[in-house]
Amino acid sequence: MVTDPIADFLTRIRNAQLAGHRLVEIPASNLKKRLTEILYDQGYILKYKFEEDNKQGLIKIALKYDPSTKVPAIRSLERVSRPGLRQYAKPAEIKRVINGLGVAILSTSKGVLTDKQAKAQNVGGEVLCYIS
């Protein structure tokens, strides 16, 4: 049993990239599906597919690499809020990741949003992770 599913999600992606894998499979949940959609929309992954099975389902993610240098598109995945220490931020307090080049993902009252979307809608929430 996993006590922190978001950290598990990020770690599976990080480990797959370090091993040079093209595809990673992750057990699905609605939150992980939304995180995957954000990663795709921001251009960090090539494509994804949600597969249903008799249990909770699977998310298959095709990782993105630079074709010439084989460097992963995702340079860092950092978990911010943890089960032992939750981190919340108001719209004005949301930190920019690498001066706006990275993305912060927040869980807000309007759903799981990026830092730019949360500021535009003027909502704060729990800062889940930073991606660059």
For the domain bounded by 5-63, which CATH number is listed?
3.30.1370.30
Quickly state the pLDDT bin for 54 (edges 50, 70, 90).
confident
For the domain bounded by 77-131, which CATH number is listed?
3.30.1490.10
Spell out the residues 6+ positions from residue 12 whose beta carbon is closer than 8 angstroms to its own.
Answer: 24, 26
- Every domain range in the chain assigned CATH 3.30.1370.30: 5-63
**Neighbour-count burial for 81-92, b at 16+ CB within 10 Å, e otherwise:** beeeeeeebebe
Asked if 28 contacts 60 with a C-beta cutoff of 8 angstroms, the reply is no
pTM across the whole model: 0.93
- Every domain range in the chain assigned CATH 3.30.1490.10: 77-131
pLDDT over 90 percentage in the chain: 92
Q: What is the pLDDT of residue 100?
A: 85
